[in-house]
Amino acid sequence: MEKSMRSTNKLSVDKIVKVGILAAMSFVLMFIQIPIPIAPPFMRIDLADVPSLIGGFAMGPVYGVIIQFIKNFLNLSKTTTGGVGELSNFIVGGAFVFVSSYLYNKRKTRKTAIKSMVVGMLVMTALATLSNTFVIFPLYGKIMGIELQEFLNMVAATNKFVTSYSTLMLLSVAPFNIIKGTLEIIVTDLLYKKVSPVLKK
């Protein structure tokens, strides 16, 4: 009994350490951002979901979401969006990671991993489009004192297809998440097999 408890405690400590390391990596990756002309300037591409995806694949979807939560909690210390950006990042990133790792853990093959991440990306994109339309952009605008029309103006100069609030969401926010998700899928696919043995020890 004592040996079993010791083994369980060691397992828990191991996972806590791994989650902490992956969350720290994810937090650091948030600082490496790439602007994309089709989206508002405050929306930039990063690869911060990759450690969460790797953690979710190796340890299970709940751990992937925990990594996402810690990453965004840490980022609150330097937020420029009043916490709205972190809320949005957690909602859409958490959905991406949970769906992807949940499906992958049912059948652990490379083919399933890629399919799972594609499904996760589509769920993320749909959720991001809806949440940004009805919650995130209006809330961010209210906190920062920005009219919704100003968001449209930020993008219209570089994305000629954006002519209204609805097209801002469908032709700017949605493509942004597809591009970001695709890059993260590629990087995760390249890295997972190399780092997963360490996480599974």
Contact 67, 46 (CB under 8 A): no
Instruction: Report DSSP letters for 146-175, one per residue.
Output: --HHHHHHHHHTT-TT--SHHHHIIIIIHH
Q: Which domain holds residue 20?
A: 2-200
β-strand partners of 44: 35
Q: How far is the C-alpha of 199 from the C-alpha of 36, rounded, in Å?
A: 33
In tens digits, the chain (201 residues) has pLDDT values of 444 445 445 558 888 999 999 999 999 999 999 999 999 998 999 999 999 999 999 999 999 999 999 999 999 998 888 999 999 999 999 999 999 999 999 999 999 999 999 999 999 999 999 999 999 999 999 999 999 999 999 998 889 999 999 999 999 999 999 999 999 999 999 999 888 888 776
Number of domains in the chain: 1
- pTM for this prediction: 0.91
- pLDDT score at 199: 78
Write phi, then psi, for 145 (nearest 5 degrees).
70, 40
57: domain CATH number? 1.10.1760.20
The CA–CA distances, whole Å, from 23 to 48, 74, 108, 166, 192 equal 9, 9, 23, 34, 16
